[in-house]
Amino acid sequence: MSSSQILREVFGYEQFRGPQEAIVSHVITGGDALVLMPTGGGKSLCYQIPAIARQQAGHGVTVVISPLIALMHDQVGALHEAGVEAEFLNSTLTGEQASALEKRLLRADLTMLYAAPERITTPRFLALLDSLHARGLLSMFAIDEAHCVSQWGHDFRPEYRALTVLHERYAGVPRMALTATADALTRADIVERLQLEDAQQFVSSFDRPNIRYKIVEKKDATQQLLRFIQHEHEGDAGIVYCQSRRKVEDIAQTLCAAGLNALPYHAGLDALVRQTHQDRFLREDGIVMVATIAFGMGIDKPDVRFVAHLDMPKNIEGYYQETGRAGRDGGPANAWMGYGLQDVVNQRRMIDESPAGDDFKQVMRGKLDALLTLAEGADCRRVHLLAYFGETYAAAAPGRPKHGTAPSGGSEDTLVPSVGAMCNNCDNCLNPPNVWDGTDAARKLLSTIYRVQQASGISFGAGHIMDIVRGKTTDKVTQFGHEGLTTFGIGAAFSEVQLRGVLRQLIATGALNVDGQAFNTLQLTEQSRAVLKGEVAVRLRESVSTPAERKPKRGNSTSSKSNAAPLALDDAAQLRFTALKAWRGEVAREHNLPAYVIFHDATLAAIAERVPQTLDDLQGISGIGAKKLEAYGEEVLRVVGL
């Protein structure tokens, strides 16, 4: 079958998305490839279609390297639903199952084998691959989540390093690496580590036009989050990221107490509990997962409607990857983040105290600063994010494909965003914040820190410094005689919120240092001088309350909710849609798979709208391939006809 036949008949899709076609035809003919595509862009088909085509052409088995067991299970389940011979080899198999599978593998009676990197590099597995290779039945390697090989990525997994064995041992076997993370540094590292120098690079646009970015300053973070969910996402599935396990537990409890269906997830929970919570999130509607970043990689649930960060992530790569889990189905979704001075202090301290070398720390600080600049900025979030990944945002013109291909290579040079470009789907575009000049406040703060240090010989924390600048006679001020300083009260006109903002930015840009070993005291740095001299301007966004923070109205109209069908359905169609969803739920439970693996909401909505009478009528609806038509066609017609 040709690749477009496979797309249509096996997967039920009419058209390739963006660069998929180019990638597929390059790989089918045995080319190596590095595929950089945002989450939800459709990476899986890029290796699944070549795997099927190459198997049909007699090249044998494709080995897919994937870091997570849960991901393998659902991906293989989805392939079975589409009638593709795929299996996974991991620790969940019994000894008997594993050896049966090994026999099948040796017979090359399999299109795709999913396995974890640590499994692939065992002598036993390599011996199996050797045997296939010797007979020309080792078709291809697909390395998913390839950024795991890089220490610059946000998810370094040492096991990925051992994958060098693939190109050393099986030099002629085509390899493709796929990832949704790719700043220039990580990309270069992937190329080097996996020896993909000669591979063709396919770099998609990283824009996710359906995600609305919002970044707010924390005041009462938990309440802000609660209002955001209640106001904009009642009944929706979402993920809330927190830094610590304790906080995950606390927030999950608070959300439950407020009547939301929330579950905690972190590495400290019992493995079984973790698994149950993940399964429920995937399989039930409208669950809010409160989690550390231990949760999420490989979660390909398409209808996650929001991702919220209650603590600031380490860098933009992590932020973008995590927020990218929202709205994979292309429907409207929100990415919400709260940040504050404490986040900056914590993240800085974590870097400072880590055992890593100085060079590494320097890179990490730079990455943190970039995220802070995003948070503090008044420019379009999307333009800013895309610029970080080396992409210039082109405002959506009518008919512009959602996933255009950016020219590969050389795009690192274009880091400057087109000035004033706007996406009209982020907080700064929809609600432009005022910007104020904080240079004067910054100088007053810095000179106070200098004088206090001179007068007392020790450093103090942010609270005390702000009290002096604002001229507040606290016990501590009196105790140290700081009301006698010439800078006492020089910044009385500034609010505490303003000064906090200035301090945050000074810390972010390295013009102030926080000493985590000494009660988070503030110290001047080399960069302080330029600010003190007025050579560097400090510009800040004014705190604005976004509409999400307003109190939800009682009897909220359904229009603000997004958990309805993806298409606007009339009442009768809505009834059919609901009936189809109930039927799908039963099938999914029987097959022990998430509902979306059976059919996406969008497919069910299209069926509900079209009211098909015959199997022929079902053909051509996006998401219904030959196998699904055969397996579920009659049932679907029955449910629709009820």
3-class state of residue 442 by DSSP: helix
The yes or no reply on residue 211 touching Zn ion (CB under 5 A) is no
DSSP 382-430: HHHHHHHTT----PPPTT--TTPBPPSSSGGG--SPPTT---SSBHHHH
Check residue 423 for interaction with Zn ion (CB under 5 A).
yes
Window 424-453: residues binding Zn ion (CB under 5 A): 426, 429
Using the rule CB under 5 A, give the single segment among 137-145, 224-232, 382-390, 439-447 that binds Zn ion: 382-390
Interface with ligand ADP (CB under 6 A), residue from 3, 6, 10, 17: 17
Distances (CA, A) of 313 to 147, 301, 384, 560: 17, 22, 17, 28
Site for Zn ion contains 380 (CB under 5 A): yes
Q: Does 45 bind ligand ADP (CB under 6 A)?
A: yes
Paired tokens of 312: 């600031």
The answer to the question of residue 599 lying near ligand ADP (CB under 6 A) is no
By CB under 6 A, tell whether 300 contacts ligand ADP: yes
Identify the residue among 8, 59, 247, 382 touching Zn ion (CB under 5 A): 382
Quote the least distance from Cβ 156 to ligand ADP, whole Å.
20
The whole-angstrom distance between residue 157's C-alpha and the CA centroid of its chain comes to: 17
The set of residues, in sequence order, having a beta carbon less than 8 Å from that of 316 and lying 6+ positions away, is 183, 367, 370, 371, 374, 385, 388
Query: Nearer to ligand ADP by C-beta: 42 or 318?
Result: 42
With binding defined as CB under 6 A, does residue 328 bind ligand ADP?
Answer: yes
We find the least distance from the C-beta atom of residue 241 to ligand ADP, in angstroms, to be 18
347/364 Cα distance (integer angstroms) = 10
**Toward ligand ADP, which CB reaches closer, 328 or 581?**
328
Q: What DSSP line would sit under 29-61, residue for residue?
A: TT--EEEE--TTS-HHHHHHHHHHHHHHTT--E
Q: Which is nearer to ligand ADP, 157 or 328 (CB)?
A: 328
Any contact of residue 16 with ligand ADP (CB under 6 A)?
yes
Closest CB to ligand ADP among 43 and 147? 43
- Helices and strands (DSSP H and E) totals, the chain: 27, 17
- The answer to whether residue 41 forms part of the interface with ligand ADP (CB under 6 A) is yes
Among 25, 44, 200, 230, binds ligand ADP (CB under 6 A): 44
Binding piece for ligand ADP, criterion CB under 6 A, among 37-45, 223-231, 314-322, 605-613? 37-45
Query: CA 558 → CA 235, 306, 332, 563, distances in Å?
Result: 11, 17, 15, 9
43 binds, among Zn ion, ligand ADP, none (CB under 5 to 8 A by kind): ligand ADP
Does residue 43 interact with ligand ADP by CB under 6 A?
yes
Chain centroid, CA 498 distance in Å:
31
Nearer to ligand ADP, 404 or 534 (CB): 404
Work out the angle at residue 232's Cα, subtended by the Cα atoms of residues 231 and 237, and round it to the nearest 5 degrees: 120
Q: Which is nearer to Zn ion, 155 or 207 (CB)?
A: 207
* Token couple for 458: 């020790």
Q: 548 to 587, contacts with Zn ion by CB under 5 A? A: none
594 contact, one of Zn ion, ligand ADP, none, CB 5-8 Å limit per kind: none
- CB atoms under 10 Å from CB of 218, counted, come to 18
Residue 530, token pair as written in the block: 């330029």
Q: Kindly state whether residue 302 participates in binding ligand ADP, applying the rule CB under 6 A.
A: yes
Number of residues forming the site for ligand ADP (CB under 6 A): 16
H runs (alpha helix) in 509-624: 528-532, 571-591, 595-598, 601-610, 615-618
* Tokens 């880590």 -> residue: 354
Determine, following the binding rule CB under 6 A, whether residue 594 of this chain makes contact with ligand ADP.
no
Question: Which partner in Zn ion, ligand ADP, none is near 16 (CB below 5 to 8 A by kind)?
Answer: ligand ADP
Q: What residue 300 binds from Zn ion, ligand ADP, none (CB within 5 to 8 A, per partner kind)?
A: ligand ADP
- Interface ranges with ligand ADP (CB under 6 A): 13, 15-17, 20, 37, 39-45, 300, 302, 328
